Structure 1
Amino acid sequence: MNDILIKKTTAFFKETFGAEPQKVVLSPGRINIIGEHIDYNDGYVLPAAIDKIICFAFEKSNSDTSRIIAIDLDDEFEIDVTDSMELTDNVWTNYIRGVVNQLKINDFEFEGFNCVFSSNIPVGSGLSSSAALECGFLFGINELFNLNIKPVDIALIGQSAEHWVGINCGIMDQFSSVMGLENKVIKIDCKTLEFEYHNADFIDYSLILFDSNVKHSLMTSAYNERREQCEEGIAIIKNNFPEITSFRDCKEQHVLELQKVMSANVFKRCLFVVKEINRVKLACEALDNGKIEVLGQLMFETHEGLSTDYEVSCAELDMIVDTLKKEEAVVGSRLMGGGFGGCTINLIKKGHEEGIKKKLSALYFDAFGIELKIYDVKIGNGTSLYNNN
């Protein structure tokens, strides 16, 4: 599938600009195996890059003017790289403008360029197409103009660009898009950005995403509210236990002892965060020991916590997970991403995938009148230069 995308993108570039691109970049989406809503709570996350990508083609324009074309949207825009960047109503262009803005703020020297891109990452499904867009675009500019930006800094600049757009994301999405390795998950320390790879040997299992095909409007307001509740909770914990500096220092007992001085919601949010940080550690141990069914059970526990304690699930996602939990061939399932819609991530024993897809799709349509979208994914490499040789 990616070969087709690469050929389409490079052919479009040649047709538009009359020459082969000077650089071709592949930038992946990401999944998160476990560790949800704790990237902004000083926790650990366990993401991986996937084999769904954005393909970019670049050349220098030999002027200050840059032309950027989104093939899939049949849309384009031009900027003068010497101008100051401002947000516009055309949302996708803001991610590009945000990266250019960050490069200018950080005094990198570059000139105009031409860029086209196309993607097979499903948009709006929680696979971080925006991070792939920011980081792939930045990676290409870095290569085109020899800016010598390190991979970790590409992720950080991408995150800053998204903040400029107005989305206060953690570092996980950009980091996993840039730093991913085939058949590896990355345990990222969201406090220090230290990271380590763990084998993701899913040889007997398939990773399948079931997209609920819904996106409830609560998402942004609820996300900000959860962050505020967690900040309130950790302040109470620190006040009562001076030795604690962040959620990662907490045990469940610390939170339980403070239940009476926290609001009900703050208590539930804190309890989820502390449990989820521990689940990431246990998930790494399970992967290191090849115990995929243990990992799957942790995924089920995460979903339960996201649904009842963090309260970011919805009827559609709960139905998917509850249905799959009854299937012996499904060893793990949970909502992935911010919640209130989007995908579940599921580990299914090989040989059973098609039957489960068919059964779940029918039950889901009967329940909600909505077509389930299904994506088979494999763990792939992070953002890279494509070499046709």
Structure 2
Amino acid sequence: MKKKLIAATTAHFKSVFQHEPESVFLSPGRINLIGEHVDYNDGFVLPAAINKYICFAISTSQTDEFTLVAQDLNETYRFNWSETLQPVDKMWVNYMLGVLHQMKMKGFSFAGLNVVFSSTIPMGAGLSSSAALECGFGYALNKLFKLGLSREEIALIGQQSEHTFVGVKCGIMDQFASVFGKKNHVIKLDCTSLEHEYHTADFKNYTLVLFDSHVKHTHLTSGYNDRRNEVEQGLNTIKTHYPSVQTFRDCTENQLESLRNELGETLYKRCHFVIQEIRRVNEAVKALDQNQFEQLGNLMFETHEGLSKEYEVSCAEVDFLVEFVKNKKQVIGSRMMGGGFGGCSINLVEKGSEKALFESISKAYREQFGITLSYYKVKISKGTSKVKKKIKN
């Protein structure tokens, strides 16, 4: 699959620009095992890069012009990098313009660039194709023009690109996982300090399966930003009464409970989910290290319950997918993954049972919603990298 993607992207570059690309890069999507919506709440998360990629075939040119070709969309965008960069009406372009804008603000300058990119990351499935696009492009610029940026700086540039040119106040997790991914390891990431540690993710007799609901409700961006505002408001109220509390990880359930009436039910539920989810991530790391996969699965189910009922970022379709597998002995954990309001559920499934499970759940899902389900078996892979040798067609 990876070789095929590299070969197809390289071939398309050659057909558009009439020569081989100078360099080829791969930037992965990501999963998050547990720790949802806490990356912007000073929490810990447990993401990993996966074997779904955006491939970039790139060459420098002798002009100041950038030519960006989105192979899968059959769209091309040209601009002069030295001119003022502003968001445009093509969303995929904004992710890349935002990265270039951040680098220009740091004082870097460039030659022209010809870029073709193509992807095996399913769009709208909550696998962070946007972070893969930002970070892959940033990583490529850093390598090609020898800018000397660290991986951490590339991840932060990707995040700022999304804040400024796309308008989503995302946390750092997606970009960090895409850049820092390590094969067969999850990353326990402190989203405040960016301190991180790797933990082996060998699931033994289980495999990670994603069920793609193929729905993306339109209130994702507005709902996401609303939740950020609600938890900020809640935390400010908590700090007023408990000055020792700086972040949600300092806050106890008893402190929160004492402010339930003042917060009101909505803010209380949002804050309660965050405090519980920070606890769950720490427990999940322990379970993973001790190969206690059923405990890990229970924590995933708990997270989904919180995302659905307290944080209210799930939807009927994804709730159905999680509920359906709850009593299946071959599934030990399941939850909504990503920003919410659609996308995928992530499941820990007994090896060998994936196909039969998919057939039964997809039949039930089609009967309930009239939508065809997709599934992806994913493996944990390394982060953004340059392809060492081009694959000839």
Give me the TM-score of the superposition, normalised by structure 1.
Answer: 0.98
Aligned partner letter, 1:349: E
Q: CA deviation at 1:151?
A: 0.5
Matches within 5 A, 1:1-389: 1-165=1-165, 166-388=167-389
Kindly provide the CA deviation profile for residues 325-358 of structure 1, in whole angstroms up to 9, marking residues without a partner as x.
0101101000001111111000001121111100
Measure the CA separation in 1 of the matches of 2:387 and 2:287.
34
CA distance in 2: counterparts of 1:12 and 1:204, whole angstroms: 40
One-letter amino acid of the structure 2 residue matched with residue 299 of structure 1? M
Q: Which AA in structure 2 matches 1:18? A: Q
* One-letter amino acid of the counterpart of residue 133, structure 1: L
Gaps of 5+ in 1: none
CA distance in structure 2 between the partners assigned to 1:257 and 1:185 by the alignment: 36
Matching residue's letter, 2:302 = E
Letter in 2 for 1:189: D
Task: Tell me the CA shift for residue 109 of structure 1.
Answer: 2.4
Q: Please, what is the CA RMSD of the aligned residues? A: 1.0
* Inter-partner Cα distance in structure 1 for 2:219 and 2:157: 28
Query: In the aligned structure 2, how far is the partner of 1:62 from the partner of 1:280?
Result: 49
2: CA distance, partners of 1:220 / 1:7: 35
Offset at residue 96 of structure 1 (A): 1.3
Alignment coverage as a number of residue pairs: 389
Distance, in Å, in 2 between the alignment partners of 1:260 and 1:32 is 33
**Cα offsets for 1:338-379 (capped at 9, x unmatched):** 111111000001121111100000011111111111111111
How far does residue 27 in structure 1 lie from its aligned partner after superposition? Answer: 0.2
Contact 2:168 2:225 in 1 (8 A): no
- Paired with 1:281 and 1:47, the residues of 2 have a C-alpha distance of 13
Q: Using the alignment, how far apart are the partners of 1:373 and 1:95 within structure 2? A: 26
Question: Normalised by the size of structure 2, how large is the TM-score?
Answer: 0.97
2 CA distance for matches of 1:110 and 1:149? Answer: 14
Give 1:5 shift. 0.5
The alignment partner of 2:332 has SS state of strand
Contact 1:211 1:374 (C-alpha < 8 Å) held by counterparts: yes
Q: Secondary structure at the match of 1:68?
A: strand
Unaligned runs of 5+ in 2: none
Measured after TM superposition, the shift of residue 226 of structure 1 is: 1.3
Distance 1:375 1:351 in 2: 14
Whichever residue aligns with residue 381 of structure 2, its letter is: G
Instruction: Report the alpha carbon displacement of residue 16 of structure 1 after superposing the two structures with TM.
Output: 2.1
Mapped contact 1:29–1:131 kept (Cα < 8 A): yes
